Amino acid sequence: MILTVTLNTALDLTYRVPALTPHASHRVTHVLERPGGKGVNVARVLGALGHDTVVTGFAGGPNGAVLRNLLARCPVRDALVPISGNTRRTLAVVDDATGDTTQLNEPGPTVTPQEWAAFVARYNDLLPAADAVALCGSLPPGIHVGAYAELIRTARGAGVPVLLDTSGEPLRRGIAARPDIVKPNADELAQLTGAREPERAARDARRRGAHAVVASLGPAGLLAVTATGLWQATPPATVSGNPTGAGDSAVAGLLSALVDQLPWPDRLSRAVALSTATVLSPVAGEFERARYEQLLPEVAVQAQSPAA
């Protein structure tokens, strides 16, 4: 079983408009609702790949009820902890004329100390059956900034490999707890380390405690700095589309390959193929299995010489 943790779940709303114009009224041509938050998105991709996947975190209020109803239609298991606050919404407005997406994210409900204690108990109950755990996304109000570091130490104590995908101070503190993998993007790495060059920044992040750093480079693919080598994986060609959810698909690919015990080049191939298939999908944050399988052997993975 793969366990994904989303402390700040979301009810994702997508609006499509013919063209997005500031200061103007718009007629929405299509509305899509789905369960969201980074770890939930990762879980949906893992479920589509056939992995037994459990989702935990928080959900509450009317939005949380809708989220859980939608999640029941996905090939994942719901172990979310109820809270009194109303789950946040995220709104993506897709401009059909340009393909650009404008994202508006609510901050999330405040989590009480009692609700956090209930989640920690649920997490401890789920860990013994987990082959890997992913800790993903932002922290909602009320959750202490070292929460991910605490959850990493618990997972490591249980012998469960853990992947961390967050940013800012939660990333800084989480890395110090020695997760097996962190997956920041280039901007998050630069914020963490002060270095703009990806390999240098990834090496610095690994020195801070992560066993492996997989940096998302956008259209250039992924760069992995690990104990056994450096690799860069790139898509077969420059692609255009909606990048919403592509990073979450990459995390799902890394986790899937981790539990399948694949070597690093194959892990990166799976992650890049999934993220590229997500960009190319007509539905934001989804992927087509046939497209993914077509892309997988076309991903280029090259060993990198260490920088001087």
Burial class of residue 243 in the structure, from the number of CB atoms within 10 Å of its CB (0-12 exposed, 13-18 middle, 19+ buried): middle
Burial class of residue 32 in the structure, from the number of CB atoms within 10 Å of its CB (0-12 exposed, 13-18 middle, 19+ buried): middle
CA-based nearest residue to 149, from 119, 179, 190: 179
Number of H helices, E strands in the chain: 10, 15
- Distance CA(102)–CA(206), nearest Å, equals 33
Strands 162-165 and 77-78: unpaired
- Distance CA(300)–CA(298), nearest Å, equals 6
- Distance CA(76)–CA(139), nearest Å, equals 22
- Distance CA(289)–CA(142), nearest Å, equals 39
C-alpha distances out from residue 212 to 264, 277, 304, 308, Å: 10, 24, 15, 20
- Distance CA(123)–CA(152), nearest Å, equals 11
Catalytic residues: 248
36, β-bridge pairs: 10
- Distance CA(239)–CA(243), nearest Å, equals 10
Q: Cβ neighbours of residue 56 under 8 Å, at least 6 residues apart?
A: 3, 4, 5, 6, 79, 80, 81, 119, 122, 123, 126
The single residue listed with the structure tokens 């940013």 is 167
